[in-house]
A and B are shown apart, each in its own frame.
Chain A
Amino acid sequence: MKTKTFALGGIHLNKHKISARIGIEELDLPDVVYIPVKQHIGAPAKIVVKSGDKVKVGTLLAEADGKVSARVVSSISGEVCKIEEINNGQGYLETVITIKREGDEFEDNMDMSDKIISEISDNRDELLEAIKNAGIVGMGGAGFPTPIKSEIPEGKKADTLIINGIECEPYLTADCRLMEEKSEQIVIGARILNKILGIQNAIIAIDENKRRSIARLRHITKEYVGVNVQPCKSIYPQGGEKQLINAITGREVPSGKLPIDVNCVVQNVATVYAVYEAVQKHIPLFRRVLTVSGNIDWNPCNYLVRIGTPISFILEKNKIQMDKVGKVLIGGPMMGQAISSLDAPVTKTTSGITVFSEQTSRKPETTACIRCGKCVDSCPMGLMPLNIRQAVENNDLNEMKKLHIQDCILCGCCSYICPAKIPLLDYCKIGKYELTKQSKKA
């Protein structure tokens, strides 16, 4: 098995994929869901329902507002209680549509059977329209609306579609399980995207340690043209968009450019599965697979949950002992964000919930930088985090620009590797924030 990897930096992590062999389980339905209108990058969706409306699963709640935006559909059937503002986990308020559950009814055109449909329509616009109507966004974490990614801007050309099944974050196994259990659907989804892009070259990139997924997908791709499997070296952050393009094609995305500038389109496997469901079964994006895992003593799980389910409900169903918990993260331990309120709902981009014990959630004491350069060696973007830290401490915006802080992908390799335990990632984060703030002002 020949594996590929990216050129610069990276670190080897203990993967902790404890839930990798646990099948996807459908979670009980919550009584109330809070569906945020902004689960993607871009403008918040425009609400089209009012309180008192009866909705079914799949009923349109909010319409895309502008080009960079995505639809939001109902994830349970019941009554719209109110449109309110709740804590989004970081303490900020966001607009949500609160729906109270009554039964579990689906919209009529949704095909909820298990039958796999492999015939793909030839009408490209029809396929794109189906994705648009389903409100699909990038489910790896960034939440960029998928239809925009699939429509190639004029003057540019795509030649490779990369399906990102790396999942390099420790603990998370949602994508891994999805690839094992829904492999055929993912391959068909990849073919749909191939058709939309007008190419015949989809590559499913998988971490080399997911041997069962690789074997399964290899077996299935034999029957389908235009989809291949490529194992990649198990190194963090292999799943970063730019790193993956570099690993698969050997091309480097220039600073400030998008993958399409090097003729690539990257989609997450969960997104591809959602595309399959939207196009072939007319199921809009109303649920997703997420991992609930962590380092305290309990049962890690992979759940199929409805979007808008409160995190507290999931943890309760998982019978977690809350007194042992020190920190709850949305996402994995490397890039996930700690949340301050468990009422925060699951969104389209929540790939996992990681729970850490009191002991491990403390940050270690920092000591002085000894300029060993380990952060420079580990940075997958070829930046110099130690110098970035200096520039950020001095609030020197010009120096930050010179150090290409805007290219930082916030992977956290530098913070992880630093022997002095300096939170270099935090400095990169403020630097980026401050530069964006300044460019907005100008």
Chain B
Amino acid sequence: MISALFSNILVLCGLAVIAAILLYITSQKFKMEKSPIEEAIYNALPHANCGACGKAGCQDFASACYKADQEEFETLKCPVGGSNVMAKIADIKGMKAGTMQRTCAVLRCNGTCKNAPDKMEYTGLKSCRVANTVMSGRSGCPNGCLRFGDCVKVCQFGALSLNKETGIPIIDYTKCTSCGKCVQRCPRGLFEIRPIEEGKQVYVACRNQQKGAVARKNCTAACIACGKCAKINPLIVVENNLAYIPTTVSAVADGEKLAAECPVKAIQYRQNMQENKHEN
């Protein structure tokens, strides 16, 4: 009895030793050379694995940084970490980091429950994607926010939340990392990543391409394409019954005036936007 037990233990231990030796040999033979610099770069990254940089993940970004020469390195940016992280990586590599414009996502719709009241009752699946396939929108606006919050579910950083009063999502720009997940997910394409200049930002919060009178029937905050903003800054495009402020328009110079002049208050102007909080 005891001898049987003993032999069992012996056999298993023997197998373990053989396996360990085999594993050691293979690990030595197929060893991947990993440079300590790449490792250091990887450790400096925020590890969000969001893919906002355009790479498959943080590991991929780290190896791209490691391989890059000066010129290429300047094009590599980690939007989540921001300029601080890129400066750290530049220190590790001994190179100069590219300049980074601070950005955040904006919602180009102001169709709140008050501005664009519900015209119908939707009883289907509570998801923007589903609602978008069967109807134009609860308020009747075919381009506006559907107010079911698919974007909130997709945000990894908790920067989005549905405002219970207005119904539309609000963006916490201190948490937003411009990863672009919401831009991809919104079936109406309402999100846009826009630069922040000295804590100031200006954009048209409307995507409705219907004629002014039709659009106003559904939403009081709809852009009517009057063209007033285009007179203030000729860079602004008024097309398909909709104004669009290109990112080249300076929020610092024109922002306040644009927002004040807009007769339907479709132009949103934000100031005193604080720096991103999470910089690890």
**Hey, which bits of chain A sit against chain B, CB under 8 A?**
85, 87, 90-93, 327, 337-338, 340-341, 361-363, 423, 426-427, 429-430, 433-434
| Residues B119 and A363 in contact, CB atoms below 8 Å apart | no
In whole angstroms, how far apart are the Cα atoms of A341 and B139 in the complex?
12
| Residues B123 and A363 in contact, CB atoms below 8 Å apart | yes
Instruction: Write out, one digit per residue, whether chain B residues 120-135 have a CB within 8 A of any chain A CB (1) or not (0).
Output: 1001110101100111
In whole angstroms, how far apart are the Cα atoms of A434 and B184 in the complex?
12
User: A327 contacts which chain B residues (CB < 8 A)?
Assistant: 123
User: B119 contacts which chain A residues (CB < 8 A)?
Assistant: 91, 340-341
Say yes or no for B136: interface residue by CB 8 A criterion.
yes
| Residues A430 and B124 in contact, CB atoms below 8 Å apart | no
| Residues B123 and A90 in contact, CB atoms below 8 Å apart | no
Minimal Cβ-Cβ distance residue in B for A340 = B120
Describe A's contact surface by its main secondary structure.
mixed
Say yes or no for B49: interface residue by CB 8 A criterion.
no
Say yes or no for B210: interface residue by CB 8 A criterion.
yes
In whole angstroms, how far apart are the Cα atoms of A434 and B123 in the complex?
21
CB distance from A402 to the nearest CB of B (A): 20
| Residues A429 and B123 in contact, CB atoms below 8 Å apart | no
In whole angstroms, how far apart are the Cα atoms of A87 and B133 in the complex?
16
In whole angstroms, how far apart are the Cα atoms of A434 and B125 in the complex?
16
In whole angstroms, how far apart are the Cα atoms of A363 and B140 in the complex?
22
With A85-B214, A429-B130 as contacts: A92 and B142 at CB distance below 8 Å: yes
CB distance from B76 to the nearest CB of A (A): 27
With A340-B120, A340-B135, A363-B124 as contacts: A93 and B214 at CB distance below 8 Å: yes
| Residues B137 and A91 in contact, CB atoms below 8 Å apart | yes
In whole angstroms, how far apart are the Cα atoms of A90 and B127 in the complex?
17
| Residues A362 and B123 in contact, CB atoms below 8 Å apart | yes
In whole angstroms, how far apart are the Cα atoms of A337 and B125 in the complex?
14
Which residues 122-181 of B sit at the A interface, judged by CB distance below 8 A? Answer: 123-125, 127, 129-130, 133-137, 140, 142
With A91-B142, A92-B142 as contacts: A361 and B125 at CB distance below 8 Å: no
In whole angstroms, how far apart are the Cα atoms of A228 and B135 in the complex?
42
User: A361 contacts which chain B residues (CB < 8 A)?
Assistant: 123
In whole angstroms, how far apart are the Cα atoms of A427 and B130 in the complex?
8
| Residues B210 and A93 in contact, CB atoms below 8 Å apart | yes
CB distance from A324 to the nearest CB of B (A): 15
With A92-B142, A93-B142, A93-B210 as contacts: A426 and B124 at CB distance below 8 Å: yes
With A92-B142, A93-B214 as contacts: A426 and B135 at CB distance below 8 Å: no
Return 29 A-B CB contacts under 8 Å, by A number: A87-B140, A90-B134, A90-B135, A90-B136, A91-B120, A91-B136, A91-B140, A92-B135, A92-B142, A93-B142, A93-B210, A93-B214, A327-B123, A337-B134, A338-B134, A340-B119, A340-B120, A341-B120, A363-B123, A423-B125, A426-B124, A426-B125, A426-B130, A427-B125, A427-B130, A429-B133, A430-B127, A430-B130, A433-B133
CB distance from A258 to the nearest CB of B (A): 24
Minimal Cβ-Cβ distance residue in B for A361 = B123
**Hey, which bits of chain B sit against chain A, CB under 8 A?**
119-120, 123-125, 127, 129-130, 133-137, 140, 142, 210, 214
In whole angstroms, how far apart are the Cα atoms of A338 and B214 in the complex?
23
| Residues A430 and B129 in contact, CB atoms below 8 Å apart | yes
CB distance from B118 to the nearest CB of A (A): 10
Minimal Cβ-Cβ distance residue in A for B154 = A395
User: B135 contacts which chain A residues (CB < 8 A)?
Assistant: 90-92, 340
User: A362 contacts which chain B residues (CB < 8 A)?
Assistant: 123
In whole angstroms, how far apart are the Cα atoms of A85 and B135 in the complex?
16
User: A93 contacts which chain B residues (CB < 8 A)?
Assistant: 142, 210, 214
CB distance from A381 to the nearest CB of B (A): 19
User: B210 contacts which chain A residues (CB < 8 A)?
Assistant: 93
User: B129 contacts which chain A residues (CB < 8 A)?
Assistant: 430, 434
The 3 lowest CB-CB distance pairs between A and B, nearest first, are: A91-B136, A340-B120, A426-B125
| Residues A430 and B120 in contact, CB atoms below 8 Å apart | no
User: B214 contacts which chain A residues (CB < 8 A)?
Assistant: 85, 93
B124 contact from A91, A423, A433, A434, Cβ within 8 A: A423
In whole angstroms, how far apart are the Cα atoms of A91 and B210 in the complex?
13
Minimal Cβ-Cβ distance residue in B for A362 = B123
CB distance from A356 to the nearest CB of B (A): 11
In whole angstroms, how far apart are the Cα atoms of A341 and B119 in the complex?
9
In whole angstroms, how far apart are the Cα atoms of A337 and B133 in the complex?
11
User: A430 contacts which chain B residues (CB < 8 A)?
Assistant: 127, 129-130, 133
User: A363 contacts which chain B residues (CB < 8 A)?
Assistant: 123-124
